[in-house]
Amino acid sequence: MSRGASASGSSFRSLAAPPPTERGQRTRARLIRAAETVFGNVGYYDTRISEITRTAGVAMGTFYLYFPSKEELFRALVTSLNHDLRRTLSEGTRTLPTRAAAEEEGLRLFFRFLLRHRKLYRIVKEAASVDPALYREYVHRIADGYREGLARAMETGEVTRADPELIAYALMGIAETVAMRYVIWEDGMTETKFEQLTELILHGLLANSHARRPPRRGRPRRPT
């Protein structure tokens, strides 16, 4: 899993511009960090603004100088997490010489990011019900950059040609599910497991990856 890229989307575009002063930016950032803690602990629907302001160490009235509602703060939090994750992946992989190196390092960076943001999955999954468009945009923005990187690697012959968007989503699904099991639920991502995972991603499932695939019988059926 490697770098993400930006994409336009109504849920992300409609967020208010950051405060013009450095002090205002720090206060807004404190509210977002506090929101990550509170939303992550009790969920969106059980979160009270008073708990967020208490955690952030600001007055209740200060909250409304930066966010008109709890929902707007939630959207700002999801946007912030998305931006931070994509920046982490982009900065950590952009200078690597091969796609294989970018995939391996991107996966490490993703797992490390989750160690710092253990409530990320709960927050993002809740976005699917709080603001479905925001959730789709969160996923699309990460997938778009991944797709672009895979497409470039396909052009240079580093990666087998296929639909780069399909492969991006498939690999994101692998990373997300494995991270849930071995990073979020339990600190069990050993170096051996990590090496086995990257081997699977880079070289495939079959013992002999160069073996010829058996011919298909008839037309493939669409899943129902």
**Could you list the pLDDT tens digit for every one of the 224 residues in the chain?**
654 433 334 455 445 566 778 899 999 999 999 999 999 999 999 999 999 999 999 999 999 999 999 999 999 999 999 999 999 999 999 999 999 999 999 999 999 999 999 999 999 999 999 999 999 999 999 999 999 999 999 999 999 999 999 999 999 999 999 999 999 998 899 999 999 999 999 998 887 755 545 555 555 555 55
Alpha-carbon distance 86 to 2, whole Å? 9
Q: Start-end ranges of CATH 1.10.357.10 in the chain?
A: 69-203
CATH of 69-203, one of 3.30.300.180, 1.10.357.10, 1.25.40.340, 3.40.50.300: 1.10.357.10
Q: Start-end ranges of CATH 1.10.10.60 in the chain?
A: 16-68
Residue 36, burial from CB neighbour count under 10 angstroms (0-12, 13-18, 19+):
buried
Domain 16-68: CATH architecture, name and number where available: Orthogonal Bundle (1.10)
